[in-house]
Structure 1
């Protein structure tokens, strides 16, 4: 007599976004087919021994192998990046297919598929980055791509090679409204940043720490308010990404009090790093923590933690943007130590996102276990059209499961599986790490060894958002 299941995970303390309960999990064909006590045997069995089992992470904001003008290039491609994600408990990622100015969106999508295929070991989709919203892009390409499952796109309010003007933002948001897509907005005021940057450089202030000086909270506050105003005018939901501190949070709360449908994302760097990590003197090692918006101060860390607990934030993403430090293609291009505006922006975080939040959020009593699942898995799956296939433990969902080990360890870069030569969280004490990660019922990380094959990751054609703030 054949087994009822390909796999049974027994004695699990299951946590979803809404419930916590003890049960066995029956898996057939990579999908959860039964939850219950004392399930029939499976072809293979895993005894969770009462440990917490959550849905795997869905990282809705990360960058892998993105096209960047040389000599700079990202350290992680889809091979090392998806390996790192899986070892940190994430089995679904949504990186970006970035349009270059003058390029069609379709050709950008084709290029990123080429980069991912045969290399990704976990499942993935793509957000689009719209940098050149010509009429053909807005009226033909975007609707076609949305219908094909690319149901979200990002627009920038800063960076010369990426940013849109106000009229272009409105046109892209109007396309999102017409076709039901989700717009992500990087909200920083470009002209304020440029003016401050020129002033600092003219004064000879070039060290990494001045990156934060050039991007004070008010440039994020103003752009957040402007993006919200555009969303109100067009009557369309948007996501304000990588929110760093109090002033942007206040704008989001103001908007919601007016009934405007605004979603908010934050990232671990705004919980665990602060402006001093960019250096308190002119030491170039502060370049390791240069990202935009920059980390703020400890008081703003408390605001971000409070926003995770009270529902201000919809999701927590990594914004993984991997540039090695001691690398002529990374933070020291051509072997030089450039002035702060020319340091590649971004920090690694795919693998550490879930363990950091579990340790300092759940185990430190700042958020509940169910809220942890909501922020890292269920809400991103709902926001980006993947729920209930992803983001939950339920009959019919993919068997993407993390079995957590709650034991103390000190985080070092040597533990990690990315291709970056540092982690900004070096030396932090963690009290949780994935003891086992399953992707569609297959063990891809057993707590010691990564075993997934390159190319097993599947491209995910996403539906429309299934969440409302």
Structure 2
């Protein structure tokens, strides 16, 4: 047994607040049978035949997992185009909890010309008193002025916002190479982790204009406008910039083999480059953008889903360590809504369709069923990808992301045999579709605990709005 899991051998309380008995506990490194004793929201004992709890949960025949950490999701994020996200800090975290996630990290997004601190204050106001589970914030830096670089961002990093995202595409978000270098240099000085959305903006705009001139504007052409080479080039460039500065970096929502090769090659050379992927790159393909009428707009996201070969590449990357993190990239826009996918109507060009798909609730069941259930990844890898590694990378470990003495009692009693057909009517987000409608999965949460308190039990919400706490993130662990 590794150092990650501690077994209590000393004196334990006469009575726990909660004891979860007889479950098969899984961490990123171990699988073992034990009782879990919880007091004041923390795990205080792991062992056999622990003393009585005020509440007892029989987990025999079930798995007990660390609560999921979804480190890439978007809730109530303001936009520049008039679109509106369907999920706020009420519905989004609630949906996450029903899927077995107990910590979410969405984005406080700076608008061009806006103070970064103002963006953070606005996001706190949007979140206040709503979330049923704990949450932290990443920052999105879109306007790295002297004020932002010299004062605001360093101060915010020290206050617990230790990660931020930058873009190489989207006119209202992208930074040029010089700006990226300046931001990366600041991340090195302050010990922050930079996340990067890597696609070549000029390739995309050039191809988009050519497609539009030919009248090729249907949703399926979104994929043609954002080919794998655009992601590969930007990934290579981002890694090169990080290498110049000698700073860690995470490439987010990687879609397939070409970008993966850049990450794997960099890691083989000893660079601290990490990779994240998402469910859409395992379960969707470009064909899903070519549905009848405008339906393909439901699957528009960037980078777009690729092909079957890309799916297999991503599965291999999850198994061989190319990817350290598996996130939902939940970006919830309603389909049949003029503030969502139909922002410009049903005949709009793909370039005007808000990018993103929902997935915060289905992230864990999909990966467990198709990954662990079919032998593509181990149970320990599942825990690492969905909980432990994001907690480490974003400065929340070991408080979050593991089952160990001293950790928060964020736990999921997981029924590994329950068969579920995913249907949007059964989900708890505020989106009018799921891209995974009709998928049959095996494995689903039975009871979800946050800080030792029940959030969801047998399909019923127990927690109240505002039970979740804001988390200040510490120094990222970049030694994965």
TM exceeds 0.5? yes
Matched, 1:390 2:400: yes
Contact 1:328 1:336 in 2 (8 A): no
Partner of 1:152: 163
2:296 equivalent in structure 1: 286
For 1:60 and 1:314, locate their aligned partners in 2 and report how far apart those are by CA, in whole Å. 12
Q: How does 1:171-250 map to 2 (within 5 A)?
A: 171-250=182-261
Counterpart in the other structure of 1:344: 354
SS at match of 1:24: strand
Asked if the contact 1:11/1:47 (under 8 Å) is kept, the reply is: yes
- In 2, Cα distance between equivalents of 1:6 and 1:258: 49
Distance 1:215 1:335, change over 3 A: closer
Distance change in 2, residues 1:3/1:334 (3 Å): farther
- Contact 2:248–2:478 under 8 Å retained in 1: no
Match of 2:387 in 1: 377
Counterparts of residues 44-443 of structure 1 (less than 5 Å):
44-69=55-80, 71-279=82-290, 283-333=293-343, 335-405=345-415, 406-443=417-454
**Alignment partners' CA distance in 2, 1:355 and 1:262:** 27
Per the alignment, do residues 70 and 221 of structure 1 end up closer, same or farther by CA in structure 2, a change over 3 Å counting? closer
1:309/1:371 contact within 8 Å kept? yes
Deviates more, 1:355-364 or 1:255-264: 255-264
TM-score (norm 2): 0.96
Gaps in structure 1 of 5+ consecutive residues: none
Post-superposition shift, 1:382? 0.1
Offset from partner CA, 1:174-199 (integer Å, 9 cap, x none): 00000100000000000000000000
Equivalent residues of 1:82, 1:122 under 8 A apart? yes
CA contact (8 A) 1:121 1:454 kept: yes
2:253 alignment partner, SS class: coil
TM-score relative to the length of structure 1: 0.98
CA deviation after TM superposition for structure 1 residue 50, in Å: 2.7
Change in CA separation of 1:465 and 1:207 when aligned onto 2, cut-off 3 Å: same
SS in 2 for 1:333: coil
Moved more, 248-257 or 152-161: 248-257
Partner residue of 2:15? 4
Could you tell me which residue of structure 1 aligns to residue 6 of structure 2?
A: none
Distance 1:170 1:333 in 2: 35
Measure, in 1, the Cα distance between the counterparts of 2:36 and 2:125: 36
Tell me the SS of whatever aligns to 2:418.
coil
C-alpha distance after superposition, 1:182-217 (max 9, x if no partner)? 000000000000000000000000100000000000
Unaligned runs of 5+ in 2: 1-12
Structure 1 CA distance for aligned equivalents of residues 461 and 77 of structure 2: 24
RMSD: 1.0
Tell me how far apart the structure 2 counterparts of residues 430 and 393 of structure 1 sit (CA, whole Å). 25
Deviations 1:275-310 (A, max 9, x none): 000016x62100000000000000000000000000
CA distance in 2, matches of 1:228, 1:200: 30
Matched, 1:18 2:29: yes
Measure, in 2, the Cα distance between the counterparts of 1:187 and 1:104.
24
For 2:29 and 2:123, the matched residues in 1 are separated by 35
**Deviation of residue 454 (structure 1)?**
0.6
Runs of 4+ in 1 over 6 A off after TM superposition: none
Offset at residue 34 of structure 1 (A):
0.3
1:464 & 1:338 partners in 2: Cα distance? Answer: 44
Write the distance in 2 (CA, Å) between the matches of 1:334 and 1:234.
42
